[in-house]
Amino acid sequence: MSFLPLLLGTGIGAGLALVVWGLRTRPPPEDPPRPTRRIGPRFADLPARLARAGVAGLIIGLLTRWPVGVIGGAALGFFASDLLAGRGQRSAEVDRSAAIASWTEMLRDTMAAAAGLEQAIVTTAPLAPAPIRPQIRALIVRLERQRLAPALSQLADDLADPTADLVVSALTLAASGEAQDLSDLLGSLAGAARDNATMRLKMEAWRARTRTSVRIITTVTVCMALLLVVLNRSYLSPFDTAAGQAVLLAVVACFAGGLWWLASMARYAAPERFVIGQRAEESSWS
């Protein structure tokens, strides 16, 4: 095949990546910011994904000289972190829930010693667990120039965790003098955070087999295809025609759909954040 189909395939892959990027692009927030129902952007690491997609598409395109190879390689590079991701990110989320529970208990115990809320926050900041220590230190810096309630609202956005939203809401009510028995409330929220972390650990253990299957199937399929291209290219010669490319596109789509379905089965669907939902209701009434 000529080099023109490879260039066309590269252009198609780049176009698909730009379409995905464009769909994720949102206009700048207005005042007040528009609420969203999601904890964060779907593709928080979009530049890295696009870079992997470009490199993988180029490598597969040079090896196969197929437009469909460019598209498949770009798609594989873009979603590689979803298909081959380890336990790092999921463990970090569980550790953050446990850290929120520990810090909440610190606040409860410090306030039991007749300390005010803001003083308790400042006192516990150096002792905050490592997963949330940067966010707590940023809160202390904001308290030097902001009132407690706005600073706590920013803390909820920094932590971006449903359990943290509940804790921040309780602290905000206490800062405005609307909360009673704050120590008991913080103790209950700390217990809820620990229960959430325990539940996540059990779910991760249950879904580990599915994630392992996804990684094994993805790795074996990609390696087998690359070995055929490198060691036995004549076996794949029927795919050099236009009809062969159409059949190959259907095969790649079936494999991609199956792998994505398996990966979605092992993905944790985080609950809606409380603070975001509350802001949405306030915005609808305003």
Which is nearest to 70 in space by CA: 57, 51, 55, 59? 57
Helices (H), ranges, 176-273: 182-231, 242-265
* pLDDT (0 to 100) of residue 30: 45
* pLDDT (0 to 100) of residue 80: 80
Tallying the residues shown for the chain, one arrives at 286
Displacement of CA 103 from its chain's centroid (Å):
23
Each residue's pLDDT, cut to its tens digit, for the chain (286 residues) gives 455 565 556 666 666 666 666 666 555 444 444 444 443 445 667 788 888 888 988 888 888 888 888 888 888 888 887 777 655 556 777 788 888 888 988 888 888 775 678 888 888 888 889 989 999 999 999 988 888 888 888 888 888 888 888 888 888 887 777 656 777 877 888 888 788 778 877 777 777 777 787 788 888 888 888 888 888 888 888 888 889 899 989 988 888 888 778 777 766 666 666 655 444 444 444 4
φ, ψ for residue 21, nearest 5 deg: -65, -40
* pLDDT (0 to 100) of residue 221: 84
State pLDDT tens for residues 110-167.
Answer: 887 756 788 888 888 888 899 899 999 999 999 888 888 888 888 888 888 888 888 8
Structure tokens that stand for 34 in this block: 């528009």
* pLDDT (0 to 100) of residue 137: 92
Sequence-distant contacts of 135-142: CB under 8 A, at least 24 apart = 135/159, 136/103
C-alpha to C-alpha distance for 34 and 236, rounded to whole angstroms: 52
CA distances to 122, 239, 250 from 225, in Å = 58, 13, 15
